[in-house]
A and B are shown apart, each in its own frame.
Chain A
Amino acid sequence: MEPLEDLVVDGNAIGGLLIEVFGTEMTTAVGTCGSCGMVAQVAELAVYRPGLGTVVRCRNCGNVLMVFVQARGVTCVDLRGLASLVS
């Protein structure tokens, strides 16, 4: 795995957002990448926050696993990059 760049954080940083979306603590949930099959706890995933949303990527292959966009009190969630997410 390539080291993460400076501006990237990890899944710990979005624990609050994830509780908002899923209704439960999710940083210890286990996700499986739909592209490479890498299995990791959400806390260990790479998190990019370019401003308007939150993008969560696989540490192994860079595949986009989750996208969250918030506007006017509504959170849009895209989980298509995940093969599974088990809390």
Chain B
Amino acid sequence: MSTTTIAAIEVELTDDGFLVRPEQWTEDMAPELAMREGIDELTPAHWTVLRYMRSEFFDKGTGPTVRMLGKTSGVSVKELYQLFPKGPAKVAARIAGIPKPRGCI
């Protein structure tokens, strides 16, 4: 665990970079969190995914897997990997301030 400041708010991150308290997240944090993942700019498509991930997390208790994202977020699997090359569910979860989704598909 480590403590750091994102968008002027002090937050705790897990060892693999996930926000410990999802409720602390604000939209202002996203660009900075994205830069840490090597994503310089968040396009509207990125935001669609981020908002969807948060709503799924608060609705279902866990973030969606890549398959679920591809089926229901409105963004195809192909596009997801173009937006978040290093693993859409994992990276988008970090940027969206929710825990890593668990799931094998």
A binds B: no
Identify the B interface with A (CB < 8 A): none
